[in-house]
Amino acid sequence: MGSPAPTVKSLNSVYSLNVEAQTQRYDRLSKKFADIYGTKPDFIARAPGRVNIIGEHIDYCGFPVFPMAIAPDALIAVHANGTDRVRISNINTEKYPARDFRTADIFEIDSKVHEWSNYFKCGYRGLFEHIGRSDGKGFDALLDGTVPAGGGLSSSAAFVCATQLAVQRVNGINLTQVELASIAAGAERYVGVNSGGMDQMASIMGQQGSALFIEFDPALKATPVKLPESNPPFVFVIANTLVVSDKHVTAPVCYNLRVVETRIGALILARHLGVADHRACKDADPLTFKVVMDEYFSTQDTAGSDDVQVWINHLSAMLHASIEAFGAHPDGYTREQMAAALDMMPDALSAAVHEDRFPVCAQQFKLLQRAQHAFSEALRVVKFRQICESGDTRLNYCTALGDLMNCSQDSCRDLFECSCPEIDELCALARRAGSFGSRLTGAGWGGCTVHLVSQDKVESIKHVLVSEYYAKKFPNLSAAELDNALFATAPGCGACYFV
């Protein structure tokens, strides 16, 4: 059945760090709400952002990822107003002006218009379409968000998830966390965003002290994995490069190209392994590396075997298979070479991987490197979970986990080529200052980095990053902007209600 989003009365249940500052923030939000609407809020809906600790660019390959909920979040203070109108305001009124809708009009969303309230509408519409109703009640709402926009920490997912919590409580709906995450993932399509569900699952189902092992195939599933204890404790420092990649400009040579390369790679690998004509592969649209791997091992009897060890064995075998399949083209394939390997015309191959939805611009397609990253990164995710669950007191957890994060960054930089000089610089600075593991998080080509750090070294590492990176590259940053760009966080609570 699943559990509903919890209701909490103490912020100690929500935040591991800086609870006093968060208490003051909630108080300011309630006071501002009363100033605007003339009454106190009934409750505050809260949904956090997320950081992917390890497992980059493998969700669309069908492989699991390992995110955690973070302290930065979206808060929505709410009061049912007994009318047919929904009035929403934002703490940042200059950037996000207040909006007022009839409940019937919230279902109208123009995805071509970049409007902050569209994300609110996404959460509202997605929820009601799921339950087959359109008779929503009116309420007043005030939003405060601290997840940096454009940094790869899922600010939009936090907003949509918080909206759904607010809407369902006002309307007497009580869906489970899994249902809410699934609805939220689908709802972002109303603003033209295709989401696999990782962001929403991490935001809604996060737990203090735990990350989530999220699987996508054969079904969306989240398993909490408690991070091991150490003395002193470790936390994660998030450092934003403040480099923003214009996705509309770079997608054909960056993100879209990687999606297409892995999809074509899956087609060729399936043929190499002799499973291309199996129903599971023929029916998959798109075919992914995960489907190919599962089909190749489908006749293997793994009853009674350790699940994690099965993952490790299968992924290790696929690493070797990818070298055999693509090793003859170490510098990449042309379109004609890929089509010939599949006995297809180039246009038919483009259609098979839905290049109309993921337009690309490339002369060479580096299938070997992309496959090597996908399988090795999935292997690192599984090993990360294995270490966390090992209970081996002889193990230096920080070093073991940090090594995996460092290897992930090397792979992102060298095999998947989704890093950038600023990411590389932040990772190098943090490692020299004492980080156990440093890597990019999110799509890359800019955005944020994540660093595994002993809690007693947080301030010294932040000092190095400020003096050696931010002060030199962004000397005019305000204190508030710097706080948004560089902060420490521990695995946090997922979406909840505060009353």
**CB 161 within 8 Å of CB 116:** no
Q: In angstroms, how far is CA 36 from the centroid of its own chain?
A: 34
Instruction: State which H helix or E strand residue 229 sits in.
Output: none
- Among the options 199, 285, 343, 347, which is catalytic? 199
Count CA atoms within 13 Å of residue 495 on its CB side.
34
Cα Dmax for the chain:
71
Q: Omega of the bond prior to 218 within 30 degrees of 0, cis? A: yes
Active site residue 199: yes
Nearest of 471, 464, 472 to residue 438 by alpha carbon: 464
Compute the distance between CA of residue 310 and CA of residue 192 in angstroms, rounded to an integer.
37
User: Please, which residues have CB within 8 angstroms of residue 78's CB and are 6 or more apart in sequence?
Assistant: 41, 42, 43, 44, 45, 139, 140, 141, 166, 169, 170
- Short-list 381, 494, 386, 440, CA closest to 238: 440
Assess contact for 180 and 147: CB atoms under 8 A. Answer: no
Beta strands in 370-418 (DSSP E): none
Angstrom CA distances, 14 to 204, 208, 498, stand at 12, 7, 9
Rounded to an integer, what distance in angstroms lies between the CA atom of residue 4 and that of residue 280? Answer: 34
232 upstream amide cis, omega within 30 of 0 = yes
Catalytic site positions: 199
